[in-house]
Amino acid sequence: MSRSTLIPFGPQHPAFLEPLNVSLELDEERVASATLNIGYNHRGMEYALALDYKKTQYLAERVCGICSNHHSAAYCQAVEAIYGLEVPERARIIRTITMECQRLTSHLLALGHIAEAVGYENLFMQCFRERELVMRLVNEISGNRVHYSTNIVGGVKRDLDAAMERRIADVMKELRPRLEELRGIFARDSTLVKRTRGIGVLTREQARDWCTVGPVARASGLPQDVREDGFAAYDVVRVRPVVREEGDCYARTMVRMDECLRSVDMIEECLPLLREGPVAVAVKGHPDGEGLGRVEAPRGELLYYIKGTGKLQLDRIKIRTPAFVNVPPVQIMLPGSRLADVAVITVSVDPCICCTDR
Amino acid sequence: MSDDFDRDAHRGIRDMARGMKESGARLITVIGRDRGDDTIELVYMFDQGGRLVDHRFVVEAEQEVDSISDLYSGATNMERENIDLLGMRFKGLGPGLLLVPGRSVEAPLRKRPEEGA
């Protein structure tokens, strides 16, 4: 007769980069039920962000280190909506380039993380080697590797000169074949395929019910991508969402892998669109009114709601991060799986606890 | 309490959510905002075919509001967050919070009397 065992998986676990706990009820090696516990990293960011409008921009970028540029872009869009600002075209294209660079770094981190969870250590290193190309490029563009600090309300604060435009093109040219090689490994390596295909399935209906976004939703057949709404310069580049139907760890991995190649496409499309012109418009005063900013961060839709009353202190700032809705469905993906697959399934949603908890 | 406050308005939350679910809309978030007069504005934000749609309800701060977590499982943590940060109460929401009660600041996003509206 089998006997159930309760196992705490996390909050400190070698497979997780940040604190996250899954309480597992096991029947022998199989997961009978799972309960997710988050909140270990809650920093009260929504409270802190509203305290002083002059510091909000700086702090918004620091909600997360992996999608920092998307946080500042969504924040800027929300404030720009309050002011009714028209951001110069050149600034919108630069924002698009940096956002796609950050998608590359984020997805390559997630791909490396899944390789590590599977036990494929040298593939993890290969992902991080290719990621380093983009990290160094971003450092050249912005002067920073993590918190780019290029977005400001009204545009961007650093322009790209002709030499930098050529440099971006060269890095993308170098990166593409490396990504194609990586894709071949993720798509066909027998160990990876066995550890991810048919594992941790999230059906289309479950994905919709749990309000999932980004690669998690698209891997379950939901063709939603905020970039199709045309924020920044996404109205002038081709946005072709990568959608798969399987809903398993393999699909989530391959969606991210293919999105890396689409990001290279978009960056290359952006470069010839750069025309001489201003990169920012001036803004004065404190925001008075309501504004929404919505971007497609690497993990999916990121939304900023801001209400200001013309004072230094904002009335309310609300951040709906993609991880906040993508992490909870892990508890319905786990039942029926083997204990050995728990780390792979959890990592496959690309759990960012900085964003989830804020 | 301001003049535009309707004590029974919140009764329409579940009907609204059911209608949105049937239309195929995706729940984006539930935003709670303290209006500074012992009422809280709840903004239910949806994506309906790529279009943003919001439904707003003003409720008393201490009032129990119907949960929509049985209609949208993803609403569970959104409502829990409103409990944690604004001290709200949701009827029909399962147990569990994001923060540990008693060991975290209570309702940090509620306005203190001196802050006002």
B76: domain CATH number is 3.30.460.80
Mean pLDDT: which of A93-107, A275-289, B49-63 is highest?
A93-107
pLDDT digit string, tens, across residues A42-66: 888 999 998 888 888 899 999 988 8
Q: Does A40 touch chain B (CB under 8 A)?
A: no
Model pLDDT, residue A2: 67
Contact yes or no for A303 and B29 at CB 8 A? yes
Contact yes or no for A211 and B104 at CB 8 A? no
Q: Does A324 touch chain B (CB under 8 A)?
A: yes
Residue-range definition of the domain harbouring residue B70: 9-91
pLDDT confidence band for B114 (50 / 70 / 90): low
Six-digit token pair at A187? Answer: 């798509």
Q: Does A301 touch chain B (CB under 8 A)?
A: yes
pLDDT of residue B72 exceeding 90, the answer is: yes
Q: What percent of chain A has pLDDT over 70?
A: 99
Q: Is residue B108 part of a domain?
A: no
Q: Is residue B67 part of a domain?
A: yes
Interface test with B, best of A227, A228, A316 (most B CBs within 10 A): A316
Contacts A316 to B, Cβ<8 Å: 31, 33-34, 109
pLDDT confidence band for B113 (50 / 70 / 90): low
Model pLDDT, residue B110: 86
Residue in B with minimal Cα distance to A206: B73
Question: What does the pLDDT average to over A1-24?
Answer: 83
pLDDT confidence band for B115 (50 / 70 / 90): low
**Rounded Cα gap, residues A8 and A27, in angstroms:** 14
Q: Is residue B56 part of a domain?
A: yes
**Rounded Cα gap, residues A149 and A73, in angstroms:** 10
**Rounded Cα gap, residues B101 and B41, in angstroms:** 23
In angstroms, the Cα distances linking A217 to A90, A204, A260, A327 are: 31, 8, 17, 12
Model pLDDT, residue A105: 97
pLDDT confidence band for B4 (50 / 70 / 90): low
Q: Which contacts qualify for B60-63: CB closer than 8 Å, 24 or more apart? A: B60/B1, B60/B5, B60/B7, B61/B34, B61/B86, B61/B87, B61/B88, B61/B110, B62/B38, B62/B89, B63/B10, B63/B89
Model pLDDT, residue A236: 87
Residue with the bigger pLDDT between A94 and B98: it is A94
pLDDT of residue B100 exceeding 90, the answer is: no
Q: How many domains are there within chain B? A: 1
Q: Which amino acid is at A111?
A: L
Q: What percent of chain B has pLDDT over 70?
A: 89
**Rounded Cα gap, residues A218 and A22, in angstroms:** 24
pLDDT digit string, tens, across residues B28-47: 999 999 998 889 999 999 99
Contacts A228 to B, Cβ<8 Å: 50
Q: Is residue B113 part of a domain?
A: no
Phi, psi angle pair for B3, to nearest 5°: -70, -25
> How near does any CA of chain A get to the CA of B31, in Å?
7
Q: Is residue B73 part of a domain?
A: yes
Question: What does the pLDDT average to over A223-248?
Answer: 89
Sketch the domain layout of chain A as residue ranges: 42-329+341-357
pLDDT digit string, tens, across residues A110-169: 999 999 999 899 999 999 999 999 999 999 999 999 999 899 999 999 999 999 999 999
> How near does any CA of chain B get to the CA of A273, in Å?
26
Interface test with A, best of B20, B27, B28 (most A CBs within 10 A): B28
Q: What is this model's ipTM?
A: 0.88
Angle between helices A53-60 and A68-83 (to 10 degrees): 150
Chain B residues in contact with chain A using a Cβ-Cβ cutoff of 8 Å: 26-29, 31, 33-34, 43, 45, 47, 50, 52, 72-77, 85, 97-100, 104-105, 108-109
Residue in B with minimal Cα distance to A212: B74
Which residues, in sequence order, are bridge partners of residue A37?
A21
Q: Is residue B99 part of a domain?
A: no
At A155 the three-state DSSP class reads strand
Among the partner residues B26, B29, B33, nearest to A208 by beta-carbon distance: B26
pLDDT digit string, tens, across residues A84-100: 999 999 999 999 999 99
Model pLDDT, residue B112: 74
Contact yes or no for A211 and B75 at CB 8 A? yes
Q: Does A235 touch chain B (CB under 8 A)?
A: no
pLDDT digit string, tens, across residues A165-186: 999 999 999 999 999 999 999 9
Mean pLDDT: which of A19-28, A31-40, A74-83 is highest?
A74-83
Question: What does the pLDDT average to over A28-40?
Answer: 89
**Rounded Cα gap, residues A212 and A110, in angstroms:** 17
> How near does any CA of chain A get to the CA of B9, in Å?
22
The CATH number given to A42-329+341-357 is: 1.10.645.10
Question: What does the pLDDT average to over B61-66?
Answer: 89
Six-digit token pair at B39? Answer: 């009422």
pLDDT digit string, tens, across residues A278-330: 999 988 888 999 999 999 999 999 999 999 988 888 999 999 999 999 999 99
Residue with the bigger pLDDT between A263 and A44: it is A263
Work out the angle at residue A83's Cα, subtended by the Cα atoms of residues A78 and A86, and round it to the nearest 5 degrees. 85
Angle between helices A162-188 and A89-118 (to 10 degrees): 30
Contacts A46 to B, Cβ<8 Å: 85, 109
Residue with the bigger pLDDT between A203 and B115: it is A203
> How near does any CA of chain A get to the CA of B49, in Å?
9
Six-digit token pair at A333? Answer: 């993906």
Contacts B75 to A, Cβ<8 Å: 211
Whether A294 and A232 have beta carbons less than 8 Å apart is answered as no
DSSP state of B9: G
Contacts A229 to B, Cβ<8 Å: 50
Q: How many other C-beta atoms can be found within 10 angstroms of the C-beta atom of residue A137? A: 24
Six-digit token pair at A118? Answer: 């599977």
Model pLDDT, residue A318: 95
Segment 204-223 of chain A within 8 Å of chain B by CB: 208-212
Q: Is residue B39 part of a domain?
A: yes
